[in-house]
Structure formats: structure tokens, C-alpha cells
Structure 1
Amino acid sequence: MSSAPRLSIQDVDPAAYQPMFALEKYIHAGNLGEDLLALVKIRASQINGCAYCLDMHGREARAAGVDDRRLDVLAGWQEAPDLYSPREQAALTLTEEVTLIGEGGVSEETWAQASAEFSEQDIVVLIMAICAINAWNRMAITTRQALPELPAAGSAS
């Protein structure tokens, strides 16, 4: 399989991303916190296999103070529940079920767990965040968006 980029949405139509940027502004203005948002974005991107988003949100997670160990085991978080708060566990469970919505929807147990940890307003923001990262993943994977070049070691960022 070729990994050459197919298309740059930004180059073809810069306005196409504007609704997504507005959605991101809404999500980041909420009360979820950058660390939780990063975990949600990484977990959905792991499920979807989006290298571009994994790269981006891994860096964002570290900048938000998420510990490397928690990032390293995120794909198997259910095997290390002590590393994640009940709030994070509720968000990750909801992220997995929404991302894999066609496999059985969102269970009553998952909804109850989320409702116990988040206000209704925060659940709205969380759902929008999960939907947004799934949309970003689909755009990046479909177009084979290339990873950005990183600065050379020792150079100023």
C-alpha cells in the first residue's frame, strides 16, 4: 500500500476545515481539561489507526502534563485502571463505544458511568470531542495526511 498523500484538503479548499476549527474552539472552551481531551483524542486515534493524529495528540498530551507511562499504556488502559481516574475511565469507555458505535452503540452501563462523572454540559462537550476526533481521523486517513517534519535534535523549536 502506498503511503503517499492523496490530497491536501487545506490546499484544495481552506474553508473546508473552518467548521471543524469552530468545533475545536467550542470543545477546548469547555471544562474537560487539555489532559483529558488529549487522552480521548489519542484513544480514538489508536482505535482508528490514525498516525497523524496519534503524533499530534501525543505531543499535545505531553505538553498538557500527561505522564509518559499513562500514554504508553493507554491502548490497554483497562488493564491498568489505577493509572486513570474514574473520570478518565468514564471518558475513555465512552470514547471507545462512540468510536465503535456500529458494534453495539453506547451501553446503559457506559452512559451511567459517564453521567456519574460528568455534568450534562460536560457530557455534551465530551460527545462533541469524540465526534470531532473521529472526523479528523477519517479525513487524515482517507487523504493519507503525512506526518509533519520534526525539528532536528538540538535545534530551536
Structure 2
Amino acid sequence: MLELTTEQVAALAEIDAKRFVDGVRVDLCRDDPKLADDPALPSRLWKAFKAARVLGIERDENLVAFLRIEAYAPSFYEQPGTRAWLTRPGRSADERFHDYLRVVRWKIEHPEFQGGLNNGGARGSVVRGSSGSTWSGLGARWRSFIGRGGGGGNG
């Protein structure tokens, strides 16, 4: 029987994690080709993945959502309000992130409750990428929600 050292198991886990992150990156770039132009995307996604794991996020669907938000809103998880929400006690990190994601989606879908009604219409609009991806719209709204422009990069 093959026996692996702790270091070997850790190295295999890191290889698996990097494949996971790269798979998400490939999907993101396929859904929104503009993201392929960001040379920092792979390193940002890896950093975000490690941050998600430190926060205690373990479920694959939450990790994917975390990385998707990172693609459109670099270092979103470092914002004080976001960090406070994700680290509040009483629930698992996966539950907290799921709640966080639901709140963000709700705010994006209901801009009128953010003082956004202007002459009968919603202030701002969801800018969609060429693919019409929900995530690119989420990213554009998210950047405006947290006060970042759409300049790209590590903003």
C-alpha cells in the first residue's frame, strides 16, 4: 500500500485546488471573454481562493461564487463591511457567505431600495458583457455598489 507523507498529501491538495481555480477561470473567460485580457486574473483568483479557505468556506458552489465575484470586484472580501459579515459568529462560513451572496443579489435586483429611483427609473443599469452573463452584470453592479469604478485591474 502506498503511504504518503503529510507534505505529499498537502502538495496533492494544492495541485487539486489550483486545478479547481483554473477550471473556474476557464469558465469565467468562456462566459465573459473580456476577463481573458486581465493578466492578473489567475493570481487574483488564487489569492481569493486561499482567502475563502481561511474564512472557512468549503462548499464548491460557494467557492465558485466567491471566485466569480473576485473576477469582477477585485479583493471584495477585504472590504471592512464584507469582512465583518463573513466573519461574524454564530453560523458556518458557508452559511454566512450564502447569506451574503443572497443579500448582494437582492440589492442588485432591487436598486430602488437603495435610493436609486430617479424620475421613475432605477438609477444606473446593470451593464452586461457580450455574453449577457448574469455574473458580468453582477460584477458591474457590485463594483458600483462597493464604490469602485469599472476600470479593471486590481483596482
TM-score, structure 1 normalization: 0.26
Higher-Rg member (1/2): 2
Higher helix proportion, which one? Answer: 1
Q: Which has the higher contact order (CA 8 A, sep 6+)?
A: 1
Question: TM-score under structure 2 normalisation?
Answer: 0.26
